[in-house]
Structure 1
Amino acid sequence: MNTPASSGGTVRIGALAPLTRPGWAEAGRHLLTGLELAVQHVNESGGIGGRHIELLVRDTAADPRRAEAAVDELADLGVAALAGEYHSVVARCAAARADARGLPYLCSSAVLDALTEEPSHWVARLCPAQSHGWRIYADFLLTEGHSRIAVVAQHSVYWASGTRILRDHLAARGGTLVELDATALSPRAVCDELAARQTTALLLLVGTPDPAVPIVSAVRRDERLAGVLIGAPAGQPEFPEWAQELGRDGTAIPFLRYLPDRLTPLGTRVEEALRGRLAQAPSFVAFEGYDTIVVLAELLRTGDTSAPWADIAVEGTRGSIRFSRVPGIGVWQWAWPPVQVVDRDPAAPDRFRVRHTG
């Protein structure tokens, strides 16, 4: 394929995002807003060789089979590339179909290391691999003096991978990790386990609002656990719904965020525009969406996808973006986006505090 697929005077890009439940719809909305804003900006700057980008959006609703079907549908419609997705398990299925169809796919937000079973020529990723970000999170816990840590987890490949990364990294540095089954234990039973095991930190490897919100509420109200840190490496507290559900109980819960201490000049302009569209502060997911289109526009301007990612070099909202082959990662990877551990400030729940950078 030597020229971007097009329809008339447009270049079509397929966009995948969880926009309805059981998907994390709030994250999907931020992702899509970033994608759409970048499309507008690229089109206002002349598009792809004078042709405007047309974004064809499909709601995955966190359903892997639905994502696979969407990839096939979009490929049949002649899209030049695929963008987006938030949920790792869904993105894995999308990546496999894109690879099978020979269609460039830039994954915006899914961190699972094994995004493809085999090395892929067609798939690239903007966000850091889970093994990179979650090790930084484990370092934060150790720096804060937490070596007896529990995770309460639901059953999924993503949560199991995160648990394994944390356990291995902590064990090599003298820490211990206890696993609690979120499907078998009530919030009260989780509290009893934490008290009995004398853990100092509990990590939420569960969906939101349920069961994350009831667990947080139970721990916050248990006098035995007054000194226990609650953490959420996957980023549940990032979005306003978290603060609305929990109020002050949702503060001081550190999570991973993929933003730099200071945005690029482009990022500063984009932040203002995203805030206007979202009517709230944009999450890092919105910036990931914007950067995805910036990268794909550059890819499609080359008109040659025989080596789609190797020579890409663009300035994004969060830094200079280039892709490489990282050992143990089967897709082309931006190594690495900036990583922060942040939480909501108890004194001002709408404000975030940076606790650690990596």
Structure 2
Amino acid sequence: MSASVQIGVLVPLSRPGWAESGRHLLAGLELAAREVNADGGIAGKPLELIVRDTAADPRKAETAVDELAGLGVVALAGEYHSVVARTAAARADALGVPFLCSSAVLDALTEGPTDWVARIPPAQSRGWRIYADFLLKEGHSRIAVAAQANVYWASGTRILREHLAAHGGTVIDLDLSTLTPEAVGDELAENGATALLLLAGYPEPAVSIVRAVRGDRRVAGILIGAPAGQPELAEWAAQLGADAAGIPFLRYLPDRFGPLGARVGTALREQLAEAPSFVAFEGYDTIAVLAEALRAHGTDRARVAASWPHLAVEGTRGLIRFSRVPGIGVWQWAWAPIQVVDRDPVEPARFRVRHAP
């Protein structure tokens, strides 16, 4: 019998994964685990995180899930990239290992309904519709989307197109498999779009596109947006300098933290030596939920998975409850807070809330 209660953790910690997001996610997971252990652990045993780097590679994630399941982890947690989380969720479902997804929003996280998978962040359809509402509120109805080819970006484009079309808006596709960053500016100059959304990987090609468009006088007034959240982390500002500001993105934080969120935010800032992103809070909340499930329902995998609809856990950003949401196959925290924010052009280290439904 293991001397600890083990949770398998999937995080992108190396390229081509967004390693900075992975670092923030892991910081939140680890902080919560330390606090669980300081409070007596799980039935007197310490909680242990077994960490595996996915590097944004679905094949690595699948291998990691198989390995962790074989090691006897009671549950899986983590992941940031939706295409990776989808593979991990499918494998966890097949093996009968509960998986609490920390930070991936793709609606179709699984092919069909499953009781083995639950999710902390809001579904992409909810967040990206709110982002579309923000664009319309700001007077943007002709939107160019510079997108790479994968299921996450394709899903985001579809959500935006359908929601904007219902309100008289138009989405113009810019295929990044054929366009250079400089050619994106050429397309914008011709098609009359007033906003450009970056549905592209970080740092490239997203950084190069921002530089090219910001340096193109023909499209000087265009709004650049990044709904997936690339501008949240400090690395974005370090890469782009003044060009990093004024690019709205989705952030899953409340307007104001309660006592738990404020305390955790302070601890995360000390641990990271920088402001924690929303991803770090998602990590903390993931372990808080799993710890409650394990304490209340035991360490049997099937009992953990059966506990999702019965949990009510005070998280850093509100009370976390899971329910079945139409069109979503996993147990979903339906009401995670959502904001549209950007970096203040006057003070790029400060974030401005542009829209909060």
Aligning the two structures, in what range does the TM-score lie when normalised by the shorter sequence? over 0.9
Residues 251 and 339 of structure 2 are in contact (CA less than 8 Å); yes or no, is this contact kept in structure 1?
Answer: yes
Structure 1 runs not aligned, ≥5 long? 1-5
Report the CA distance between 1:309 and its aligned residue: 0.3
User: Aligned partners of 2:271 and 2:349: how far apart in 1?
Assistant: 18
Report the CA distance between 1:176 and its aligned residue: 0.3
Report the CA distance between 1:256 and its aligned residue: 0.2
User: Which residue number corresponds to residue 89 of structure 1?
Assistant: 83
User: Which residue number corresponds to residue 333 of structure 1?
Assistant: 332
User: Aligned partners of 1:192 and 1:138: how far apart in 2?
Assistant: 24
Report the CA distance between 1:145 and its aligned residue: 0.2
Q: Does 1:357 align with 2:356?
A: yes
User: Which residue number corresponds to residue 191 of structure 1?
Assistant: 185
Match of residue 18, structure 2, among 20, 24, 30 = 24
Q: Does 1:105 align with 2:99?
A: yes
User: Which residue number corresponds to residue 35 of structure 1?
Assistant: 29
User: Aligned partners of 1:59 and 1:187: how far apart in 2?
Assistant: 30
User: Aligned partners of 1:223 and 1:135: how far apart in 2?
Assistant: 30
Q: What's the CA shift string for 1:61-106, capped at 9, x where partnerless?
A: 0010110110110011010100000000100010011111111100
User: Which residue number corresponds to residue 290 of structure 2?
Assistant: 296
Report the CA distance between 1:264 and its aligned residue: 2.2
Paired positions, count: 352
Residues 264 and 316 of structure 1 are in contact (CA less than 8 Å); yes or no, is this contact kept in structure 2?
Answer: no
User: Aligned partners of 1:263 and 1:340: how far apart in 2?
Assistant: 13
User: Aligned partners of 1:273 and 1:205: how far apart in 2?
Assistant: 32
User: Aligned partners of 1:98 and 1:33: how far apart in 2?
Assistant: 23
User: Aligned partners of 2:309 and 2:157: how far apart in 1?
Assistant: 32
Q: Which moved more, 1:297-306 or 1:41-50?
A: 297-306
Match of residue 116, structure 1, among 110, 113, 123 = 110
User: Which residue number corresponds to residue 3 of structure 1?
Assistant: none
Report the CA distance between 1:305 and its aligned residue: 3.0
Q: What's the CA shift string for 1:244-273, capped at 9, x where partnerless?
A: 111111100000000000112111100000
Distance change >3 Å, CA 306–CA 316, structure 1 → 2: closer
Q: CA RMSD in A?
A: 0.8
Residues 248 and 349 of structure 1 are in contact (CA less than 8 Å); yes or no, is this contact kept in structure 2?
Answer: yes
Report the CA distance between 1:308 and its aligned residue: 2.3
- Counterparts of residues 1-358 of structure 1 (less than 5 Å): 7-8=2-3, 10-301=4-295, 302-303=297-298, 304-305=303-304, 307-358=306-357
User: Aligned partners of 1:221 and 1:286: how far apart in 2?
Assistant: 33
Q: What's the CA shift string for 1:210-258, capped at 9, x where partnerless?
A: 1111111111111111110000000010111110111111100000000
TM-score (norm: length of structure 2): 0.98
User: Aligned partners of 1:249 and 1:338: how far apart in 2?
Assistant: 27
**4+ residue stretches of structure 1 with deviation over 3 A?**
none
Q: What's the CA shift string for 1:158-214, capped at 9, x where partnerless?
A: 000000000000000000000001121111211011011111000000011111111
User: Aligned partners of 1:31 and 1:19: how far apart in 2?
Assistant: 10
Structure 2 runs not aligned, ≥5 long? none
User: Aligned partners of 2:103 and 2:72: how far apart in 1?
Assistant: 24
Identity of aligned residues (%): 73
